[in-house]
Amino acid sequence: MTQIIIWTVAIISVLGLVLAVVLFLVASKFKVQEDPRIDEVEKVMPGANCGGCGFAGCRAFAEAAVKAPNLDNNFCPVGGNDVMRKVASILGYEVKEKAPAVAVVRCSGSCANRPRINAYDGYSSCRVKAALYAGDTGCSYGCLGCGDCVAACRFGALSMDPATGLPVVDEEKCTACGACVKACPKQIIELRTKGPRGMRVFVSCVNRDKGPVARKACSVACIGCGLCKKNCPHDAITVENNVAYIDFTKCKLCRTCEAVCPTGAIHGVNFPKPLDKEAIKARLAAKAEKERLAAAANETTKEKEAGQ
């Protein structure tokens, strides 16, 4: 019996040693050499692993950055330009600086502006609520108020305002990672550039219903009238599917659109002075009169030339 035990132990030991040698040889032959720069890039990353860059985490971003021929398609929104300069220095690339961005809630359907027409009594989740029905107000496009965006934010930059029932973004904490954008089933949250000194103008509505229907559901809804587009001197506004949109890459912050909007759907934020609607309207009226007189003079000239 003792001999059997000894032989068993010996055979198992030899077999283990042989298998260990085989595994070592196989591992050595098929070993994948990893670029040491991946570790260097990962060390300068913020370590948030938020996925805002489009990759699973900071390690995945570092691997993609090292393998890429340049950094044009890779950007860490949390670390911003400072981190990207460090990454570029490690990899020997040039990096184009990007304007800081911030999450913007494009819905003004507060409790006062958008009255409830029914009550939701179920699991508190915007995604679940959106899957069940259009919402508890007449607007089927606006914020559902359950705070999925707040739960998704890993930086504490979002909170629900109990007075309005809408999410509020803390610009100082927001890293523009985009987690709230992905979490919102109604797609009312957008990443926009912060603008000079934080100033920006945007349409705070995504309702695609026709004007009368949208206005009935929410008193500050965009009705798609097109006055903002007509009067924008920079061609920064489009109106599609009954709702206006301001292209922040073209907007010059003149606030003309905000002044002419009949429902107050266009918001200007962080401006040092309040909007002077009357001054802007007077300027537009003077411009229109000047164009009318020029057109009349041109018509008179044409009539004289035709009479000759």
Query: By the 8 A CB rule, do 206 and 106 touch?
Result: yes
Mean pLDDT of the region 213-223: 96
pLDDT of 160 reads 96
Q: What percent of the chain has pLDDT over 70?
A: 98
pLDDT tens readout for residues 78-112: 999 999 999 999 999 988 888 999 999 999 999 89
Mean pLDDT of the region 152-180: 95
Kindly report the CA angle at 37 between 33 and 38, in degrees rounded to 5?
75
Most confident of the ranges 95-99, 226-230, 281-285: 226-230
Q: What percent of the chain has pLDDT over 90?
A: 66
Mean residue pLDDT of the chain comes to 91
Between CA 11 and CA 234 the distance in angstroms is: 84
pLDDT of 307 reads 66
Mean pLDDT of the region 170-180: 94
Is pLDDT at 308 greater than 70 in this prediction?
no
Is pLDDT at 32 greater than 70 in this prediction?
no
Q: Helix 37-44 and helix 58-67: axis angle, to 10°? A: 130
Structure tokens at 29: 């032959």
pTM recorded for the entire structure: 0.80
pLDDT of 50 reads 86
Structure tokens at 87: 């990454």
Is pLDDT at 24 greater than 90 in this prediction?
no
Between CA 222 and CA 208 the distance in angstroms is: 9
Q: Which domains are present in the chain?
A: 37-91 (1.10.15.40), 104-190 (3.30.70.20), 195-276 (3.30.70.20)
Q: Kindly provide the residue ranges of all beta strands, DSSP E only, lying in the chain, ordered along the sequence.
A: 101-105, 158-161, 166-169, 189-193, 200-203, 237-240, 243-246, 266-269
| DSSP conformational letter for 73 | T
Query: By the 8 A CB rule, do 220 and 264 touch?
Result: yes
Nearest to 251 by CA among 202, 189, 204, 197: 202
pLDDT of 200 reads 95
Mean pLDDT of the region 224-229: 96
The model's confidence at residue 22, banded by pLDDT at 50, 70 and 90, is confident
The model's confidence at residue 271, banded by pLDDT at 50, 70 and 90, is very high
- Which position has the higher pLDDT, 75 or 30? 75
Listed range (51-60, 159-168, 226-235, 251-260) with the worst mean pLDDT: 51-60
